[in-house]
Chains A and B, each alone.
Chain A
Amino acid sequence: MTDRLHIDSILTPDVLIIGAGGAGLRCAAEIGERRPGISVVAVTKVYSPQKSHTAAAQGGMAAVDPNDPVDKIIYHMFDTWKGSDCSADQNIIKKVCESAWEQILWLERHGMHFSRTEEGRIAKRPFGGHMLNFGEVKASRACYEADRTGKGIMDTVWGEALRHGVVFLNQSVATELLFRNGRCVGAVVFIEQNGKFVAVLAKATVMATGGKTRMYQVSSNCRQNTGDGLVLVLQAGLPVMDLEAVQFHPTGIVGPGILASEALRGEGGILRNKDGEPFMERYAPTAKDLAPRDLVSRCIMTEIREGRGCIHPDHKLPHVWLDLRHLPEYVHKTRIQEVCGFFCKFVGVDPQRELCPVTPTAHYQMGGAPTNEFGEVERRPGEIVPGLYACGEFAAASLHGHNRLGTNSLLELITMGRVVGERVATYVHDAEDAGPVPQDAGQHVFRRFSRYLESGGHERYAEIRKALKKLMTEKVGVFRTGEGLQEAVEELTDLKERAGRMALSGRSLVMNQELLQFWELDHLLEVSMVIAFGALARKESRGAHCREDYPKRSPEFHYHTLAYMTEFGKVTLGKRAIDMSIFEARGEHHEKFGIIERKY
């Protein structure tokens, strides 16, 4: 092992936050407000926390306004349960939906620039799967900042983190979690810009590294979302949950996969096939274009498979149309300005006059690191890892089960970020110091990096990445079969072996993006393996996980998938019960929270 790899320095904040997006910094803000003396270090893979992928979220954040004469929190809870295909945890649904409005107000009072009604109040719009009266008619409960709601949240929590003096390690990655006697005491962080390793020893560690869908051909995720956080958890022998539940957003812009927000359909946009038919009416007579994402994605793929899609002349990819031509000019100009700009800029289409080409794009992980309702990471059901927390898209508490409703992700990262901040502030107050650097700190990442630095094979990174994306899209995508998944597991093993025979062109440690890409590719392969394994074992269709050989939901699989993998390909599966506390409490409307039929 090369002696260039060693711990260069040590930092000892009270709290380490890995991932400085919306969830991580909402957590930081809460810590700062509750206990201003607590020191926080936040690690981000991007240039500046403001560049985090939260900022790319568009449509809105669901919250029932108590002043709304018709909407009720119980409807939002029901929609979330139904949307999840009966696999979200009801204690989390209740906690998040009940605190939603309070968190909207927190953002508003801290300067978020929400769009307004004529009376100057926070405006709201409809979104997929959000309905009144237990699924009868669409509800307007998505609070939004034009079509840049994520940016509004990001700017607000970033500002608050600055106010509270959070120290940022930018263009840096956490490479290994540190433990002492089962307690998490921080992480090893690799500072890309100077090529040095820092041991950050903290009383509490919060993981909020977001999503990971860069293993798909068409993905809305940023370049950095390669599953690094999940691999940190897996290599520590901890489980991940429900990774087979990958959300494909129905309307990615053909080619780059850039998200064309559901807000476009919330404002009245209509999906059409090559014959101009508004096909969603056939599949979801009530919700139509505003059915949940898993359903709409499958409908689009079905239209394409049955020959009613189009082929894009430049990208050679199949797609359907999103029609926005009938929307008033002021909607185009004020409410969906950014997204309409994407169509102009990236595919040369003017949405006011032309049809927009869209296709499903890998978008979101419903699963993640399993936590309890306080964001404490679980080693196994009911047993937490002291000192380790998770929130945001990275965590599975689980609010989303096997399918997430639009606008519930921004809501989750704000509400659960706050919950974790509160919990951490209390924990840190009484917790012992993290102690000295554990003796074996860095050994895991040094082994990995040594392998990259010393490897002399002839395999090419770009070819393996390309093969991985094709494989995951074709065999672990919107539609899945047992046969295809089995093949995927075998091919992933082959790709992983090939990835061990790639040689670096440059061996510097300073901003060596090729070196980092090798590390990321390993992560993508490892996480893909866990996704494929989970999908293979779940012989049913639930939410976004659709098995053509098992097209129905099955009571036999009414649980969360837990997966452990400390050695590539050796996946151990476990189960976590789905919390049904609302149903079991037998209160008013409890029957709506049983195992219900899912029709829209």
Chain B
Amino acid sequence: MSEAYELTLKISRYDPDNGRSWIQSYDITGGRILRFVDLFRKINDEQDPTLAWSSSCEHGQCGTCGLKINGKPLLTCELLVENAVRIFKTTTFTVEPLTVAPLIRDLVINMEEAYEKVHSVKPYILRPAPEHPDGDEYRILPRVLETYVEATRCINCFSCATACVTRKNYLGPNAMLANIVRLMDPRETAKQERRDILYSERGTPRCRTAQACSYVCPKDIDIAHFIALAKEGEFE
């Protein structure tokens, strides 16, 4: 049955024109299956057009709308009002930007800086394996693909990097994953270069196995499992 909730959103604001930061509280009525991105749009339409927030596909495929809701990093396009009320047992929510990159305005961050870590692990095949003798595509058996296919589902929303207990000098779980995918992909032959990245000072030694990455991943990827494989020497 249809039902609406009286909600309070306490949203982190930041104005780059004068450097001011503050928390702004919005009271808003939200239908049962409205998503948080719908609430932000509703605030823009009905109360405050100046609130800046990010989204793109709005169905969990691009990873643009990640925010911290009551401290937990998640995709706000996937968070329905009724689920939020149930999960957090409240109708008051703090809304903060992810902490992986500098702020531009309000909830919008400069994701380019966060992406630098992903770029640094070279998210492409460095040196492809030679062609199959019979031509056409490489042959990859389903059971081989299955060992790493979950890791290919990462959308770089940086929820894991936000939740990670290691704050400094770490590639972060998602960039680690981008490297591990290519270590497990039989088409990549530059395994040593990939291992050098994996076991570098910014790699596995920085992971403290708190598994917060797996806990928050909106795609339910067990990121900690892949990093554990690396630590156990699976790729040596």
Contact = CB atoms under 8 A, between A and B. Distances in A.
Interface of A: 46-48, 50-53, 55-56, 65, 67, 104-105, 108-111, 113-122, 146, 148, 151-152, 155-156, 158-160, 162-163, 168, 170-171, 193, 222-224, 255-256, 258-259, 313-315, 338, 341-342, 345-348, 461-462, 504-506, 508, 510-514, 517
Contacts of B140: 116, 120
Contact of A314 (B32, B58, B122): B32
B35 A346 contact: yes
Interface string B31-74: 11101000000001110111011111111111110000000000
Interface string B149-161: 1001101100000
B168 interface: no
A456 B32 CA distance: 37
B33 A346 contact: yes
Interface of B: 1-2, 15-17, 31-33, 35, 44-46, 48-50, 52-64, 78, 80, 104-105, 108, 110-112, 115, 119, 122-125, 128, 131, 136-142, 144-145, 149, 152-153, 155-156, 182, 185, 187-188
A258 B112 contact: no
A115 B44 CA distance: 42
11 contacts: A48-B111, A50-B62, A55-B155, A105-B137, A109-B137, A115-B145, A116-B142, A258-B59, A342-B59, A504-B49, A505-B48
Contacts of A48: 111-112, 115, 156
Contacts of B17: 508, 510
A56 B57 CA distance: 7
A511 B104 contact: yes
A146 B144 CA distance: 15
B124 A514 contact: no
A115 B115 CA distance: 27
A222 B62 contact: yes
Q: Which 3 A-B pairs have the closest CB atoms?
A: A159-B124, A120-B139, A462-B45
B102 to A, nearest CB: 10
B56 A345 contact: no
B4 to A, nearest CB: 10
A222 B56 contact: yes
Contacts of A110: 124-125, 128
A397 to B, nearest CB: 26
Contacts of B63: 51
A505 B124 contact: no
Given A67-B136, A345-B78, A511-B108, A47 B54 contact: yes
Contacts of B182: 111
Given A108-B137, A108-B138, A113-B145, A55 B62 contact: yes
Q: Quick one: which of B60, B80, B105, B124 has the most chain A CB within 10 A?
A: B124
A111 B125 contact: yes
A362 B188 CA distance: 40
Contacts of B80: 345-346, 348
Contacts of B31: 314
A318 to B, nearest CB: 16
Contacts of A315: 33
B145 A50 contact: no
Contacts of B45: 461-462
Nearest to B186: A120
A51 B2 CA distance: 33
Contacts of A345: 60, 78, 80
A462 B57 contact: no
Contact of A51 (B52, B56, B125, B137): B56
Given A148-B153, A346-B33, A461-B49, A193 B56 contact: no
B124 A162 contact: yes
Nearest to A506: B50
Contacts of B32: 314
B52 A118 contact: no
A339 B35 CA distance: 17
B185 A111 contact: yes
A193 B187 contact: no
A170 B104 CA distance: 13
Given A56-B61, A159-B123, 17 more contacts: A46-B64, A111-B185, A114-B137, A115-B145, A120-B141, A120-B144, A146-B149, A158-B123, A162-B119, A223-B56, A314-B33, A338-B61, A342-B60, A347-B33, A348-B33, A461-B45, A514-B44
